[in-house]
Amino acid sequence: MSVVIAREKFQAYLAQKGLRVTNQRLAIFDAAFAQKEHFTAEQLLDRARAIDDSVSRATVYRTLPLMTESHILREVDIGSGEKFYMPAGTGGTQVAQVVCVDCDKIYEISAPFMEWYGSTVSLKLGLKPISQRLQVSAHCIAFRQTGRCPNRTKK
């Protein structure tokens, strides 16, 4: 999904909800779509402030749900305390994450069967599926070679 289309989608969502397109929201949007990797709320705040230094932490946290609800951003929870976000691709929710447990780097992989599996399993239980997440934890290449991740920042 291109930035242009995402911006349209976002603005359409805001309009539909009777919400306003403010400078702060746009700054946060632009900051999010300038990222190439996964990012946290805090990182997003920094980037957004570089665009518009009036952006506050509260507004970032209030805007993130708007962006995920409008499906222009995907939330990735790897169970590490903080949540990660990234621009949603065109692939919907059919993405699995492979996480290096040493440096927390997140690789993403298309996994279309997940949707099929989610439906199958849900229906078997009599449930109505909404979404599914598949996450693999692993040691990265560098770890295998040197016993340590180059990116590693953890204790």
Residues lying near a copy of itself in the complex (CB under 8 A) are found at 77, 79, 83, 96, 98, 100-101, 107, 109, 111, 114, 117-118, 121-122, 125-141, 143-144
Residue linked to tokens 């976002």: 10
- Binding characters for DNA, 8-47, by CB under 7 A (x = yes): ------x---xxx-xxxx--------------xxx-----
Q: Are 29 and 13 in contact (CB under 8 A)?
A: no
Residues in the chain: 155
Q: How far apart are the first and last CA of the chain?
A: 37
Rg (CA), the chain: 18
20 vs 144, beta carbon nearer DNA: 20
Binding at 3: pick from a copy of itself, DNA, none (beta carbon under 5-8 Å per type) = none
- Biggest alpha carbon–alpha carbon distance for the chain: 54
Residues near DNA (CB under 7 A)? 14, 18-20, 22-25, 40-42, 54-59, 61-64, 81-83
